[in-house]
Amino acid sequence: FRQPFNLAKPCKRFVFYLHNVAYDGDNTDNATSAAIVNPLGLGDFSFGKFVIMDNPVTMDQNMLSEQVARVQGFFFYHGKTKYDTWLSWSVVFNSTQHKGALNIMGENAFMEPTRDLPVVGGTGDFVMTRGIATFMTDLVEGSKYFRVKMDIKLYECYY
Amino acid sequence: FRQPFNLAKPCKRFVFYLHNVAYDGDNTDNATSAAIVNPLGLGDFSFGKFVIMDNPVTMDQNMLSEQVARVQGFFFYHGKTKYDTWLSWSVVFNSTQHKGALNIMGENAFMEPTRDLPVVGGTGDFVMTRGIATFMTDLVEGSKYFRVKMDIKLYECYY
């Protein structure tokens, strides 16, 4: 039987914020994500809307603070009776402190206060890593901006 | 060296059915999935068709039986000379028995009698899990409905 890990003692942990500025056709300079497919009209909760993102990550809630990583990937809406999304993205580090990426995928019912998604793999400093990312929506400003707090706990670390 | 697992003895196993009702523009109430991109016309096997799904899962073949989980995610067609799909989705449990999700991704040549896809991660009761999902197409009714039998075998379990 495999050596159990201790949920309370991740071998590595990151707590930081991703900032998403939706492209609205005019904000090319500031936009960090954009819908490549618009809602289908199946229900009233954006079913089918598919968003690609390349978002900055900072240690605090200020989008203009020093960028420590980027979140690159996609999410889409799949709820017919409530807002529900599914996502797959990478947290990509390129700083003096960390080099490499963490890959996260799964169900993100973002109306829930907290959501867990698995970290299914990594590269560089995070090669062969796995763990759990807990997402908490920190701020939503209509359809223009949202900020998500990510609490990433790794349970398999090799560096 | 890691303790090898025994393919014949998964630590957990689920055998159940997912039900997919395709949206046809009129069946908003019953639809459980919809194409957000239609075939490109590259070959005659729906290349490029991209489907988002939020499908019920039951223990038997009756779609109206008690729902034990939902399958949320996407699949798309990528075959030029035959029907072939690639998918990534979560089996999301929210019952008294199980809480959490299993994440599956990979090639799904659904014309084959059985297909294996990896379970690459999990959350909740399935945190840090991995295994294999064997899919068998159980029924196809034109482009309106299909049912897939999923035999999910986990080889790394902690709960």
Cross-chain Cβ contact A119/B121 below 8 Å? yes
pLDDT tens per residue across span B65-77:
999 999 999 999 9
- Would an 8 Å CB–CB cutoff place B24 in contact with chain A? no
pLDDT score recorded for residue B76:
98
> In angstroms, rounded to a whole number, what is the distance separating the alpha carbons of residues B102 and A11?
23
Query: In chain A, which residues have their Cβ closer than 8 Å to the Cβ of B23?
Result: 40, 42
B28: which chain A residues are within 8 Å (Cβ-Cβ)? 42-43, 80
As given in the structure block, the two tokens for residue B75 are 């699949």
Q: What is the pTM of this model?
A: 0.95
Q: Is B40 on the interface with A (CB under 8 A)?
A: no
Taking the Cβ of residue B101 and every Cβ of chain A, the question of whether any pair is shorter than 8 Å is answered with: yes
Instruction: State yes or no: pLDDT of A3 exceeds 90.
Output: no
Tell me which residue in A48, A130, A155 faces B34 most closely, judged by beta carbons. A48
Q: Which residues contact A88 (CB under 8 A, 6 or more apart)?
A: A73, A74, A75, A103, A104, A105, A106, B88
Residue type, position A157, single letter: C
pLDDT at B159: 80
Name the closest residue on chain A to residue B35, using Cα atoms: A48
Instruction: Give yes or no for residue A2 having a pLDDT over 60.
Output: no
CB contact under 8 A, A78 and B156: no
